[in-house]
Amino acid sequence: MARPRQFDEKNAVRSATELFWRRGYHATSVRDLGDALKLTPSSLYRTFTDKHTLFLRALDHYRATESAEARQRLDVSERPVREVLREWMLWLVTCPADGKSGRGCFLVNTATELGTTDERVRRRTEAAFEVTRQALRSALTEGRDRGELSPDLGIDDAVELLFTTVLGLRVRERAGHDTARLATAIDVAIRALGSVPAPEKPA
């Protein structure tokens, strides 16, 4: 498995991301990576330094694609905020990026596997989580400003509720829990945002 002449490093990182996502960091060996990337261990080390460095590259790749997807799906500029939030959360547990269920979120999986034991990994997962929080904050703020949510809604509290719900949903999706039950949890979280404000009566 010598390094091919027309080696595509970006494709290699994508393949490594898929492998780490399926198996986790500790369960993925250098031999596994070599087989997936069609590289000898020496070629892999020359290109990516070591397994940990490649794992960080995989996290960065996933963060970039996931963050862009989250921002796009949480765009409430032309749709009701509750509808957008519900559709996004359902998508998270029914339609992962490659259409395969049961893998959860790579970032959530990594956070639960490595926790706070790896500072470089922790910084990346926290940065990615903050992107999601900011996207939720923007959606909720716009919904409130448009009168779709109560003017008294605590945006930061709502963000934490929905973000925590999302993390739990991703873990349950990985555990193979029934999608209908997850949809019920999503509906309860959406209802927790409060009822739709009644339109103001003309003076």
- Whole-number pLDDT of residue 89: 94
State pTM to two decimals: 0.84
CA–CA distance, 91 with 64 (Å, rounded to integer): 18
193 and 153 in contact (C-beta within 8 Å)? yes
C-alpha count within 13 angstroms, C-beta hemisphere, residue 28: 24
- Whole-number pLDDT of residue 66: 80
Weakly modelled stretches of the chain, pLDDT under 70: 1-7, 95-102, 197-203
- Whole-number pLDDT of residue 143: 95
Q: Domains of the chain, with CATH numbers?
A: 52-191 (1.10.357.10)
- Whole-number pLDDT of residue 86: 96
- Whole-number pLDDT of residue 1: 45
- Whole-number pLDDT of residue 137: 96
pLDDT tens digit sequence for 101-144: 568 889 999 999 998 899 999 999 999 999 899 999 999 999 99
Q: Is 200 left (phi over 0), alpha (psi -120 to 50) or beta?
A: beta
- With 0-12 CB in 10 A as exposed, 13-18 as middle and 19+ as buried, what is 195? exposed
